[in-house]
Amino acid sequence: MSNIQGKVVVTTGASSGLGEETARHLASRGAKVFLGARRTDRLAAVVADIERGGGQASARAVDVTKRAEVTAFIQAAVDRFGRIDVLVNNAGLMSLAPVAKTLVDEWDRMVDTNIKGVLYGIAAALPVFQRQNSGHFINISSVAGHKVSMGAAVYAGTKFAVRAISEGLRQEVGGSIRTTIISPGAVQSELPMGSSDPETAASVKEMYQQLAIPADSVARAIAFAIEQPADVDINEVLLRPTKQVL
């Protein structure tokens, strides 16, 4: 409890799914949470619910594909709580389809959200962490960042990139700044709703209905990484449903 209580945790993609459950779980453990997403009505509802439960929470609208918005979002968290201890780069998009479908616009959105969104978060928070001489990046990758499956080539590419960026960041800034990669498998969230290709979407929906585990499974993994002593850096957590083979 002591290593989470009082920490300021900033989370993107916090209006639903993994981001929302992470904010709720950490707030229940005593963290001060600052939530970001595009859907301000959902953010307000989550903040109000956390506050009703006695937690501390604030929120600001942010589109992680826009660098200026991410910079302003991080500054707003500092202005609100005076510091940032953890940044959870969670916002993501999974638009699965065979490469031959050439859904280039969706490729662009995944690259902008899954890769550039993480980089913008790092660029905004790293100077804060360096001034504090402490901080913790938690970047959400995926099982798809370890293994490529049919229809997931571009999505997997973005999640492999998150792992590569995170490992390089760890090597460069480790010492007082920690870096953790969280790679979930099928988890209950809005993520599988991103596929516009009907055949792929149906397959993904069926798989998630059969396998997906609750989003708080990931929240608990994130809490585990945060609660370690400052001299312990949990570099990567790979988790999936017991029944998930790939």
Q: Which of 129, 137, 155, 160 does the annotation list as catalytic? A: 155
DSSP 195: -
Helix axes 153-173, 117-132, angle to 10 degrees: 10
- Asked if 182 and 136 count as a contact pair (C-beta separation under 8 A), the reply is no
CA distances from 40 to 37, 76, 139, 209 (A): 7, 15, 23, 28
Residue 155 designated active-site? yes
One-letter amino acid of 97 = A
Please give the structure tokens belonging to residue 217.
């499974």
Give the number of other Cβ atoms within 10 Å of residue 206's Cβ: 11
- Asked if 127 and 175 count as a contact pair (C-beta separation under 8 A), the reply is no
Q: Is 189 helix (H, G, I), strand (E, B) or coil?
A: coil
Nearest to 139 by CA among 231, 22, 1: 22
Known catalytic residues are 155
